[in-house]
Amino acid sequence: MIRWPRKRETRPLEPKIMVNPRLLELQTAKQILEEIFHARPSDVEEMIQNRYDEICYAKPGHEETEQWPQEFMLE
| Residue boundaries of the structural domains of the chain | 21-56
Tell me the H-state helices in the chain: 21-37, 41-56
Question: For the chain, which residues score pLDDT lower than 50?
Answer: none
| 26-36 pLDDT tens trace | 899 899 989 98
Q: What is the pTM of this model?
A: 0.48
Find out whether 47 and 33 touch, Cβ atoms under 8 Å: yes
DSSP 8-class letter at 17: P
CA 9 to chain centre: 40
Spatial distance between the Cα atoms of 34 and 12, rounded to a whole number of angstroms: 39
